[in-house]
């Protein structure tokens, strides 16, 4: 589920949309990815990409149980991640009526998973944060 925090008790820089599970807890890897990779995009584009990634989370939950995608990514279970991606791709291709957004949905989910696994292979979030700080000039 996509939630946006607008509370005045939350600093302006932290008021953003995040994906949460059915308990209201943030989807961990989607939150990390959104923070590190989507900050340069417009609000509407970020929302669209998060909704696409949410589709993959819901698909994985239905296929393998609650939290399956975050677990597979967190434990770097490449076989499970590949199974989730393959199933998600097939579900998009087998829809009775395909839309023009299906390719964008697939590309976004693929980029999300690729980014997370790539960060982990280069030393986890520390590597991802140092790469991001190299790209973004200080204010």
pTM of the model as a whole? 0.81
Domain count, the chain: 1
Can you give the C-alpha Rg of the chain in angstroms?
A: 15
Instruction: Please report whether residue 21 resides in a domain.
Output: no
Alpha-carbon distance 93 to 73, whole Å?
A: 24
Tens digit of each residue's pLDDT (9 = 90 or more) over 18-46: 888 888 888 999 999 998 999 899 989 99
Instruction: Please report whether residue 35 resides in a domain.
Output: yes
Instruction: Please report whether residue 103 resides in a domain.
Output: yes
Instruction: Please report whether residue 9 resides in a domain.
Output: no
Residue 14's Cβ-side half-sphere holds a number of Cα atoms within 13 Å equal to 5
Task: Say which residue, 130 or 90, is predicted with more confidence.
Answer: 90
Instruction: Please report whether residue 40 resides in a domain.
Output: yes
- The pair of structure tokens assigned to 40 is 């340069």
Alpha-carbon distance 88 to 41, whole Å?
A: 25
Name 66's Cβ contacts closer than 8 Å, sequence gap at least 6. 21, 22
Average pLDDT over residues 73-96: 95
The pLDDT assigned to 5 comes to 53
Domain region containing 62: 28-135
Instruction: Please report whether residue 5 resides in a domain.
Output: no
- The pair of structure tokens assigned to 123 is 């030393």
* DSSP-H helix ranges across the chain: 28-37, 43-64, 68-74, 78-93, 101-121, 124-135
Tens digit of each residue's pLDDT (9 = 90 or more) over 37-80: 998 999 899 999 999 999 999 999 999 999 999 999 999 999 99
- The pair of structure tokens assigned to 39 is 């900050």
- Cα–Cα separations (whole angstroms), residue 11 to 7, 15, 132: 8, 7, 22
The mean of the pLDDT values for the chain is 84
């Amino acid at each position: 589920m996509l939630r946006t925090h607008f509370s005045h008790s939350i600093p302006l820089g932290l008021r953003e949309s995040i994906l949460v599970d059915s308990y209201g807890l943030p989807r961990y890897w989607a939150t990390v990815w959104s923070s590190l990779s989507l900050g340069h995009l417009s609000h509407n584009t970020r929302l669209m990409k998060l909704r696409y990634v949410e589709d993959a989370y819901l698909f994985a939950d239905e296929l393998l149980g609650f939290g399956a995608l975050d677990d597979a990514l967190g434990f770097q279970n490449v076989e499970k991640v590949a199974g989730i991606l393959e199933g998600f791709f097939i579900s998009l291709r087998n829809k009775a009526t395909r839309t023009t957004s299906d390719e964008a949905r697939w590309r976004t989910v693929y980029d999300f998973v690729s980014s997370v696994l790539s960060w982990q292979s280069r030393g986890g979030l520390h590597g991802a944060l140092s790469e991001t700080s190299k790209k973004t000039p200080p204010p």
